[in-house]
Structure 1
Amino acid sequence: MDFTAVRALKYPNFRLYFSGQAISLIGTWMQRMAVSWLVFRLTHSELMLGVVVFAGQIPIMLLSPYGGALTDRHSRYKTLLFTQIASMIQAGVLAAVVLTGHHNITIIIILSVVLGIINAFDTPARQSLMINLVEDKKDLPNAIALNSSMVTLARLLGPVAAGFILSSFGEGICFLVNFLSFVAVIASLLLMKIPPVPKIINKQDIWQGLSEGYTYLQQHTGIRSVILLMACTSFFVMPYSTLLPVFATNIFHGNVTTFSWLNAVSGLGALGGAIYMATLKPGNSLLKVIAYCSAQFAIGLILFSLTGLFPLALCFIMAAEFGMLSQIAASNTYIQTHVDENMRGRVISYYVMAFQGMAPIGSLLIGFLAHYFGASTIVCAEGIAGVIAVVCFIPYLKKAGTGDLSDLRKRVLTSNIKS
């Protein structure tokens, strides 16, 4: 049996991280699905769906650069442990208010904002910690790909479990399961043995550090282009998922089971993309993968919005999610393998801001427009905007690829001279 596709699992710390996150993320996806269904059940409003997503993700856009700069100055491990405990508390409070019947849309929005603030610090710390979990840095791309596979497997299993629990027990039990799932990831973090990383004492103001991160991006065409394309995709295309409850009930005339199918098949497509990235050979151009998969995501979404047949819609949304996950994983891998170590947290924070920070603004806009023009029309427009974004960025990605080759030649020449 060929174990090269899972070679990063040979490292004990990464195995602990992988297993703990796998359990916890199933609960996370259950909570995400249950929140969307609860909001639509309470309000029957596309606009309110957008408002809740906006409330939960706008803190990421505003605070992620600060969180990334903080990560570069302090322990990534301790930051992640703290944010996971805080996320567990948030899930517990949400479960308590729903199970006791004291919930309303205002409370849901407030708790969504709290989770968004936590995630603004959690995501840069989690992404930056990845390099400390594998001893051989050549295995970092495989670790990132396996992490993406684990996330998407949870995205597949979470909605299936949530669909059963929602139809049988209600949203509160989904939130309770998510609360309990954090025990796994916190335990895995406590069991890790990460050697202390020597920190350079940095008395520099955090906001000055953020400015340096911005200057660094201006000097690196490849990383900058990847982050900007991700920002466009996140703003224009990814918010389509906000409207899945509307598609399930108003367009396909279904119920929570239909909603569960849409989410589960989306997860299956994303899992396919993650497996593709995990088995991708090192010689492949990540920039080409990013361009092709971004286009597949957008075109798949256009076809999904235009069909009225549920089985065809499932096929199209699967293809779209395959492209989306591949774009995300390839972008993350490209950035992680090209950024300088001392700038890692700050650059990743800008990536997080592009990936998760632009989505809330897009979700609010999509919810507002869908309220007046209909979900199908707006999702089709999202796909068209995604295609236009890819076409606009192709010249910059080509230029970045040429620049990477030039840098490689310079490194080879320099090493030859030194030797």
Structure 2
Amino acid sequence: MNGLIVNLKLVYYNIIHHKVFALFCVFGTMLTFVFITIVAQVADILMNNTSPAMEAERIVSIPLVLLDDNGNPRKGLTSGDIQIITTNLKKMSCHTCYQSHSMDINVNGRSTDYGVCFVDKNYWKVFQFEFVQGHSFTKSEMHTPCVIVNEYFVEKFFPDRNVINKEIEIQRRTYKIVGVVKNVSYFAQEGSASLWVPEQFNRYASTGYVFTYILFPRSLTSEMALSSTRNSFKLFAEMFGIKESATLKHIETVKESMLHKYGGDFLVLGISSILFILLIIPILNIILLNIANVTVRGSEAGLKRALGASRWNVFEFMFMENLLLVMIGTAFGIMLTFPVCHVLDKFLFSENIDGGTTVLSELSWRVIFTWVLPLSVLFSLLSGGFPIYRLVKRSIIDLLKGGAK
């Protein structure tokens, strides 16, 4: 323990006396790990079950359109069509159908076009949003003009944040806010929605195409749920003289749908490539800087070797300094993740007609400890460990001459 304390004091002394190198290393690492943290968090959302689709493997989605055998559209699916399809699904837990429309809204004297989701009572069972204020629609509220919003909507239109029972106007009808849900990432299922109204008030309910999701019990596997849904859909398609509808290939779980939406089989390759690029460019820069830095400190390493320190002792001391700088940069990068995300939100989603969305709604500490920190150690090994190893493997005489051969 005493040896570690002494080493840390010496590391601190070296950092203070090599401020420019230390600042460049920390700054470069910080910029790198801001974006690595964002990419890792988004990857986790896409590949794992996150709110509100906590049971993504048990939720089956049905496309908007019935296609014929050749893939040509025959008709859009309405809520009435879905009712026929789900009649043959005896083992499902529940299903939800909803429509989304861009509408004029007026909030606190501010008018804008906003995406409005018209949902049924089962929507909140299929998709498990976390309520931070109020509650989901009750049975009676499904027939009264009320609305649920997300935190982003509240931040944008209600500075005091206390919004329950406050009113907003949609298409000249006044609605009362009964609930506020926690923000979810744009990349999550239902991530683009931020304002929900009971389907009773949807003027296009009888004719508009619907988004459909069917929740199955845990006793059924994903394969059984998909097979049951496809068989039921096939019976529905036969009513229109279609034997093998091309739509059958697009009936999939929310888990599969999310993966296909963002690259399918290439998703992991794409994420790995992005992380590689984010790592390799700063690593090469810092390697060059480290080579110059350790060369300058060659005589210091040679003196330690001459006084009895082993190659490992010298490597350990110099690498500890590099690792500390990288960890400090990584910590700053993690802390800057949300500020950078807010900038990205304004740049990417400020004109988004769907409403209030965000790149990330929260940080997963599991991702920080299983993705980001191991990558940080790897970054330190590659950017600092390689130049230091090249230095300490030289002879004491070469090191005392300044590290040059």
Q: By percentage of residues, which structure has more strand? A: 2
Q: Same fold (TM over 0.5)?
A: no
TM-score (norm 1): 0.24
TM-score (norm 2): 0.24
**Rg: which structure is higher?**
2
